[in-house]
Structure 1
Amino acid sequence: MERVELCTVEELMAALYACRGAWDTPDRSGDPVDLHDHALQTAALLRRSRPSDKELQVAGLVHDLGHLLSPGDDAGHADRAAEAVRGLLGERVARLVRLHVPAKRYLAAVEPGRGLSAQSSLTLGAQGGPMTAREVASFEADPLAEDAVTLRQADDAGKVVGLDAGSMEDWRAVVELVAQGVPVR
């Protein structure tokens, strides 16, 4: 599959706008909100819980772009999104995006009764299932593990039909700051 790299804020914003009416599954059988609303809700939740961490918020905004770039690739969507934004948004944002799937696997291992959306439960198997004890220890040793779990929790909560989480344009200035490498944490 062709590698996509989003090189400018305009390209990234266009991709985010293209998420309106795009879903995590090609047949719309997945999560109850489109990728656009899911991105806005996830980012808004992160803004509320970590107001000074703009990189984490932007990671929440872009974490599922892989579903747009490669529809139906549940196992690889995080890697595809991370690669697409790395050059523009930096290594930390890309790593957080990449880690949102391992964070789901981690939470499934350490909190086995934790609720997931029906679609997230379904894709967990394709993504490797709950982590093994060795994988848990390795994940916990990652300096971004806590932030990745925070992103994952917002990801899981950001699927509310009809919730107004603002507009994509509200995020342009934050995306621009992160793209410029301005220290925003």
Structure 2
Amino acid sequence: MNSAELHDVDALMAALHACRDAWDTPDRTGDPVDLHDHGLQTARLLERAHPEDYELQVAGLVHDLGHLLYPGDDAGHADHAAQALRPLLGERAARLVALHVPAKRYLVATAPDRALSPQSALTLEAQGGAMTPAEVEEFRRDPLFSAAVALREADDAGKVVGLRTGTMEDWRPVVERVARAAA
């Protein structure tokens, strides 16, 4: 699948369904859940914490699609996904997807005792490592700072083997709502 194919909700939903048994690493040595379950868990956590922020919830659902579109590109997966999703889901949702990696770098810099999954810790250096103090201050000024950190926190928590969080089709109405608003 390539990013040009994500032109409508049906295509996006097909890509999300294709995340079943697709992993963040080609050899499956990464996080303990596939991209499908990880997206569902992340979105559900965001729905509970931010029930009115549909763009944030959908960003959580789709934030790791870059792993499916460009397998093995840990450093660029967020930007690839954001670029592919922007025309359909709009600027805010796409920026939130792109910001989930800088938010990890921010949290590592500001809360160094915070635990990362082994795979997130492994990819941190390829993604730029912990932010510098100047980068921290710049990131805090971003209008999407709080939402990006919320997405990252849900991303880190959404890696529980066997956790049931509904189905991908449960999210179709929310994805359609965000896509309509972005059109």
After superposition, give the CA deviation of every residue in 1:43-93 in whole Å (9 maximum; x if it has no partner): 000000000100000000000000000000000000000011100000000
Q: Distance in 2 between matches of 1:40 and 1:132?
A: 32
After the TM superposition, which segments of 4 or more aligned residues of structure 1 sit over 3 Å from their partners?
Answer: 2-5
Q: Could you say which residue in structure 1 is the equivalent of 2:63?
A: 63
After superposition, give the CA deviation of every residue in 1:113-163 in whole Å (9 maximum; x if it has no partner): 000000000000100000000100110000001100000000000000000
Give the alignment's TM-score, normalised by structure 1: 0.96
**Native 8 Å contact 1:5 1:83 kept in 2:** no
Q: Which secondary structure does the structure 2 equivalent of 1:180 belong to?
A: helix
CA 1:167–1:3: 2 relative to 1, 3 Å: closer
Unaligned 5+ segments in structure 2 are none
CA RMSD of aligned residues (A): 1.0
How do residues 28-177 of structure 1 correspond to structure 2 at under 5 angstroms? 28-177=28-177
Q: How many residues align?
A: 181
Q: Distance in 2 between matches of 1:4 and 1:27?
A: 25
Q: Which secondary structure does the structure 2 equivalent of 1:181 belong to?
A: helix
Identity of aligned residues (%): 71
Give the alignment's TM-score, normalised by structure 2: 0.97
Q: Deviation of residue 6 (structure 1)?
A: 1.2
Q: Could you say which residue in structure 1 is the equivalent of 2:22?
A: 22
Q: Distance in 2 between matches of 1:95 and 1:150?
A: 13
Unaligned 5+ segments in structure 1 are none
